[in-house]
Amino acid sequence: MRFGYARVSTQEQDTQAQIAALTAAGCERIFEETASGGRWERPELQRLLAQLRPGDAVVVWKLDRLSRSLKDLLVLLERIDHAQASFHSLTEAIETATPAGRMLMQMVGAFAEFERALLRERTQAGLEAARREGRIGGRRPKLTRLQQQEIVALVTSGQKSGAAAARLFQVDPSMVTRLVAKARGAR
């Protein structure tokens, strides 16, 4: 069975041109949706994917009707392939039922993987540069080293309970527990 999927992003747009193209392409059932292509919460797309059987085909007017993100597009294409169905984009003339279409989708996947690797590499380089400059990632400590020492002294001397020290310094009691445990382990 050939399933069509037509999507627009806003209520002001309509799917008539997409539906006409999908009907002309022989789609027997068309799922129509108004939702952003960057969202995963698309009930009609999920219904379409749930109905796929081996030998079925998912047809869209353009690739960006299925997804705006290349990563998400590849995930959706993998789900279609897992159902042993094929994918066909009318405008880009991509059809995964043919060897050339599968090769093209693999090339798109290879470029996406390359892009992710470059992003990971740039992120690592940025983190290393920040470390060399003395900056470390993560959240700034809520307490100074002096405040931490004061909490430990108050609790270990018995002047304050852990809960009272937490209220005094406006921190979670679990932080006081960790500080005291760390100080006792260091002795």
Buried b (16+ CB within 10 A) or exposed e, 45-75: beebbeebeeebbbbbbebebbbeeeeebbe
Sheet of strand 29-34, all strands in order from the earlier edge strand to the far edge: 29-34, 2-8, 57-60, 86-89, 94-95
Catalytic residue among 9, 67, 69, 174: 9
Amino acid at the residue 141? P
Whether residue 9 lies in the annotated active site: yes
**Cβ contact 129:103 at 8 Å:** no
Residue 76's nearest CA partner among 35, 116, 46 is 46
Q: Cite the active site residues.
A: 9
